[in-house]
Structures are given as structure tokens and as C-alpha cells.
Amino acid sequence: MLHYTLSRLGLAVLIVSVAMLILFSMIYLIPGDPAAVALGPRATAAMREALRIKMGLDQPVWVQFWNFFINAWQGDLGNEVLSDRPVSRVVLEQLPYTLALIAGGMVWSVALGIPLGCWAAVKRGSLADRLVGVLSVAVIAVPSFVVAIYALLIFAVSLRWLPAIGAGEPDDLGDQLVHLILPSIAVGLGWVGYIARMVRASMLEVLEAQHIRTARAFGLPDNQITYQYALTIAILPTITLLGVGIGQMLSSAVFAEIVFARPGVGKLVYDAILTRNYPLVTGAVLVTTVLFVLINLVADLIVGALDPRVRSSF
């Protein structure tokens, strides 16, 4: 397991480095002079030149990249344009809100999707199975911002059961959790469908396997066969899917944060783009990338912990 963990960790570092290179190239290739953009049209040539030197734009491109690379790995993503505060601090202030939103969406969609998928697979061909199938496709097909708007209208505006906007009082955990319910429903609903379908498909495959027949031939209880012998294997592709799917969830978090006026990285990027605050956009994208890679790393480690074949192939 140690060897496996280290190799996954090494791969994660490599992916983040490549992501940095791509991000840097994109900033570099954007037309226009960043110093001129930052200072506005009324700045003098001397002022622009001074800022260019301060920002390191007079250096050769590879030196610029190296500085960006080293600084980014040390957590220094430069300062944002409007308030001149460190980008990393601004992003990290917002990160917990987004993490809570994604975690909320993930937890409830997993908690609902996995049992539904198992149930549909075990009752294959039954009315329950068909119902789960139709509902899964339905919730996958609805975009998350539509879910967000309807959830807001129904539960906050009409029924007044749940708060409509914000993230709750900073010191009140219960209030924050209540504020988390609607946004995490919006972010996670489609995932219930994805997970149920995925789990159903791989469960059906695993239940046909020879070793399940062996388990039945030894008279093991059905529940143990389904949830220990079959699900442990059937869950593996779903975990990998969830790791990759975090990217999509991050993008639906942007909508949820805007619709529910929640703080968060998505809202931050949205505002930064509107105000052309490029260092902030870059920093937030980089942090999101690292988050994505980390979650995939965790997914890989869970798969490794569950599947001895994966562990020993490293």
C-alpha cells in the first residue's frame, strides 16, 4: 500500500505541475499587456514600465514560468488587482464554503445513489428497477442551475421551510448546515442518478460472477453476498467516476453559489471575471485544479484500499 500511495502521490504532483504549465501558457498567450490592463488607460508609459518590472514581465518567458512555478508551489499566487491582497489568502477564505457545498452534495448523493443502485440491481426487471431507471435519467437530464432555481422557489419562497440566500451565521454551525441543504440538493441531485445507474450496471455484472455463485453455493446470507461480496467490487468504478465527476460538481457549484448568493470559490471566480481581476482568476483556477487532483488522489487511495489487485500491481 505504501508503494501504491507514493506512486499515486508522485502522479498527483506531476499533474498539478503540468496544469500550472498550461495555466501559465494561457495567461501568457492572452493578448494585451497585463501591466497596462492593471493600471488602466490613463497610466503613463513610465508607470507601465515600472509595473512591468515589478511583475517580472521584462524577464524571458522561461524565467517568468519558473518564478510562477516556484512561487505557486510555495503558495504564493501573487496579489489581486483590486485590493492588492495575496490571492492565496483570498481564495483560501472562500474555499471552505465550496468544500462544504461539494461535500454536502457528494454525501447525500452517495448515501442515496448507492442503495438505490443496489436495490435496482437485486430487483432487476421489477417495477422498482424500472422506476429507479427512469428517475435516474430524469435527474441526470435536469441542469443543476434549474434544480437550484426550483428548489429556491419551492422550499424557500413558497413553503418558507429553508433559508434562501447566504451561508448562515459564521459562528453558528447549525445555521450553516441549514443554509447548506438547498444548494447541496442542487449540486447533488444529478449525481444520485449517475451513481444509481453506475452502481446498478456494475452490480449486475458482479452478481453474474463465478465467485458470487460460489458464495451462494456456501449458503451465505443474501445481504452479505450483496453488500459485502458484490458491492465491494461493484463500487470501485463508481469511486473512480466520483473522483473525475468532482470537476463537474465544481462547475455546478459555481451556479449554486450564484443562485443562492453563497460565498465560495465559484462565486469568487465569477466576480473576478466580471471585474477582470486576472490574478484572482488564475489563482482560483489553480486552487480548484489542486482540489480536483487531491480528490482524485483520495479516490485512487480508496480504490487501492478496497481492491488488493490494484495495490499489488504497483
Name the residue among 19, 116, 30 with its Cα closest to residue 72: 19
Q: Which position among 211, 244, 261, 275 is part of the footprint of other proteins (CB under 8 A)?
A: 211
Name the residue among 150, 146, 143 with its Cα closest to residue 248: 143
Closer to other proteins by CB, 93 or 222: give it: 222
- List the beta bridge partners of residue 86: 79
Closer to other proteins by CB, 290 or 310: give it: 310
Q: Which position among 203, 207, 233, 239 is part of the footprint of other proteins (CB under 8 A)?
A: 233
Question: Does 38 contact other proteins by CB under 8 A?
Answer: no
Q: Which position among 51, 55, 135, 306 is part of the footprint of other proteins (CB under 8 A)?
A: 306
Question: Does 215 contact other proteins by CB under 8 A?
Answer: yes
Look at the block and give the residue holding cell 443502485. 117
Q: Which position among 7, 17, 25, 232 is part of the footprint of other proteins (CB under 8 A)?
A: 232
| Among 14-22, 145-153, 247-255, 305-313, the segment contacting other proteins (CB under 8 A) | 305-313
Amino acid at 119: W
Shortest gap between Cβ of 280 and other proteins (angstroms)?
A: 45
d(CA 130, CA 120): 8
Q: Which position among 68, 229, 255, 278 is part of the footprint of other proteins (CB under 8 A)?
A: 229
d(CA 273, CA 81): 12
| Three-class SS state of 86 | strand
Closer to other proteins by CB, 70 or 305: give it: 305
| Among 28-36, 58-66, 133-141, 219-227, the segment contacting other proteins (CB under 8 A) | 219-227
The site map against other proteins for 180-209 (x = CB under 8 A) is -----------------------------x
Question: Does 309 contact other proteins by CB under 8 A?
Answer: yes
Question: Does 210 contact other proteins by CB under 8 A?
Answer: yes
Alpha-helical (H) ranges within the chain are 2-29, 34-39, 45-55, 61-73, 87-122, 127-141, 144-151, 173-207, 210-217, 222-224, 231-259, 265-274, 278-306, 308-312
d(CA 255, CA 270): 9
Beta-carbon contacts of residue 171 (< 8 Å; ≥ 6 apart): none
Query: For 222-228, which contacts have Cβ atoms below 8 Å and span 24 or more sequence positions?
Result: 226/118, 226/122, 227/118
Question: Does 302 contact other proteins by CB under 8 A?
Answer: no
Q: Which position among 3, 216, 261, 314 is part of the footprint of other proteins (CB under 8 A)?
A: 216
Q: Which three cell numbers stand for residue 183?
A: 444548494
Closer to other proteins by CB, 33 or 208: give it: 208
Shortest gap between Cβ of 121 and other proteins (angstroms)?
A: 13
Q: Which three cell numbers stand for residue 246?
A: 468532482
Secondary structure of 125-191 in HEC code, one letter for each residue: CCHHHHHHHHHHHHHHHCCHHHHHHHHHHHHHHHCCCCCCCCCCCCCCHHHHHHHHHHHHHHHHHHH
Closer to other proteins by CB, 159 or 217: give it: 217
Closer to other proteins by CB, 101 or 236: give it: 236
Instruction: Enumerate residues 242-271 that contact other proteins by CB under 8 A.
Output: none
Shortest gap between Cβ of 120 and other proteins (angstroms)?
A: 15
Binding site for other proteins (CB under 8 A): 209-211, 213-222, 224, 228-229, 232-233, 306-309, 312
